[in-house]
């Protein structure tokens, strides 16, 4: 019975590793994913885990859900849309632009009133800071902006605040971060690492649910794999860690 030398065994093992790597590369694909601005941080982590597990690469295109929906209707080439609402995915489904039966909720957003300076914010803050500048996302484009308007109308519809609108909730956050606004109604996921005394987690009873849905737009094997991956417990755990509720 012959005995394989260590060098021969090493070469055999090295060859098997190369074959596996070549096989992965041959089946690897690049995905383009349109993602709502509020979800970019967690999407990067989920995409990185997916890339490590599958060998596929994921390119994230961040922006407002409203703009993404319009761009997709005009031919934007993306494999998947991670929206900040359920309305636009439903619209794309009605237009026949998605892969059938792929519209599904992947996260539920929370809203926070963020005031990095000037004390602990709460429901009374909006009425007590007359003349202050409040940042929020454009309600015509962003679901978090729609939710923010609902909160304002319920808490203090006559509050004398100067409102500045970001194209999306990420820009609304930047207005506050840069000091151009004293406070903002932003995504809880954006401020959960800030001192708890600087934000107030808005009760969900003050606005309609911020149900974030995804749709598959191109039924490639890699696209289908990422769509499924986002429903895995590994991905859902990351989503929850970033301040979202999950289905």
Q: Is residue 25 part of a domain?
A: yes
**Which is it for the CA torsion 145, 149, 151, 155, positive or negative?**
positive
Distance CA 24, CA 54 (A): 8
- Residues 11 and 14: their CA atoms lie apart, in Å, by 5
Looking at the structure, tell me whether residues 13 and 103 fall in a common domain. yes
Structural domain boundaries, residue 195 = 111-201
Question: Looking at the domain assignment, is residue 64 inside a domain?
Answer: yes
Do residue 97 and residue 215 come from a single domain? yes
42 and 117 housed in the same domain = no
Lowest-confidence pick of 21-25, 64-68, 195-199:
21-25
- Within a 13 Å sphere around the CA of 31, how many CA atoms are in the beta-carbon half? 33
Are residue 193 and residue 218 in the same domain, yes or no?
no
> Per the domain annotation, does 1 fall within a domain?
no
**Nearest CA to 223 among 58, 26, 92, 21?**
58
Q: Is residue 162 part of a domain?
A: yes
Q: Within a domain: residue 3?
A: no
Same domain, 125 and 182: yes
Angle formed by the axes of helices 87-94 and 65-73, to 10°? 10
DSSP secondary structure code for residue 130 in this structure: T
Q: pLDDT at position 37, please?
A: 87
How long a stretch of residues is the chain? 247
User: Do residues 111 and 126 make contact, with C-beta atoms less than 8 angstroms apart?
Assistant: no
**pLDDT per position as a tens digit, 55-111:** 999 999 998 888 999 999 999 999 999 999 999 999 999 999 999 999 999 999 999
The answer to whether residues 220 and 101 belong to one domain is: yes
Phi/psi class of residue 135: alpha, beta or left (left: φ > 0; alpha: ψ in -120 to 50)? Answer: beta
Report in angstroms the alpha-carbon separations of 124 from 9, 14, 103, 130, 154: 72, 66, 38, 11, 12
Q: Is there a single domain that holds both residue 61 and residue 30? A: yes
Q: What is the CATH number of the domain that holds 156?
A: 3.40.190.10
- 194: helix, coil or strand? coil
What is the C-alpha to C-alpha distance for residues 214 and 85, in angstroms, rounded to an integer?
9
Residue 55 shares a structural domain with residue 124: no
Same domain, 72 and 96: yes
Give the model confidence (pLDDT) of 109-151 as tens digits.
Answer: 999 999 999 889 998 888 888 789 999 999 988 889 999 999 9
Please indicate, yes or no, whether residues 160 and 100 belong to a single structural domain of this protein. Answer: no
Whether 41 is covered by a domain: the verdict is yes
How many domains, the chain? 2
Asked whether residue 95 is domain-assigned, the answer is: yes
- Is residue 126 a part of any domain in this protein? yes
Residue 135 shares a structural domain with residue 104: no
């Amino acid at each position: 019975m012959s005995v394989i030398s260590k060098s021969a065994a090493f070469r055999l093992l090295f060859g098997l590793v190369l074959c596996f790597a070549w096989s992965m590369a041959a089946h690897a694909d690049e995905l383009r994913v349109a993602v709502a601005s509020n979800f970019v941080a967690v999407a990067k982590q989920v995409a990185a885990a997916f890339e490590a597990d599958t060998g596929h690469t994921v390119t994230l295109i961040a922006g407002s859900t409203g703009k993404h929906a319009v761009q997709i209707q005009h031919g934007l080439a993306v494999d998947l849309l991670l929206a900040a609402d359920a309305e636009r995915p439903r619209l794309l489904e009605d237009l026949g632009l998605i892969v059938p039966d792929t519209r599904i909720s992947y996260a539920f957003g929370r809203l926070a009133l963020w005031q990095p300076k000037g004390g602990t914010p709460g429901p009374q803050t909006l009425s007590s800071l007359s003349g202050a500048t409040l940042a929020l996302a454009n309600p015509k484009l962003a679901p978090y902006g729609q939710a923010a308007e609902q909160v304002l109308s319920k808490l203090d519809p006559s509050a004398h605040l100067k409102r500045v609108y970001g194209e999306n909730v990420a820009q609304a956050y930047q207005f506050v971060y840069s000091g151009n606004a004293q406070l903002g109604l932003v995504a809880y996921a954006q401020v959960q690492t800030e001192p708890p005394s600087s934000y107030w987690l808005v009760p969900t009873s003050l606005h309609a649910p911020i149900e974030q849905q995804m749709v598959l737009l191109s039924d490639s094997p890699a696209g289908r794999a990422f769509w499924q991956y986002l429903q895995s417990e590994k991905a859902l755990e990351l989503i929850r860690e970033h301040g979202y509720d999950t289905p």
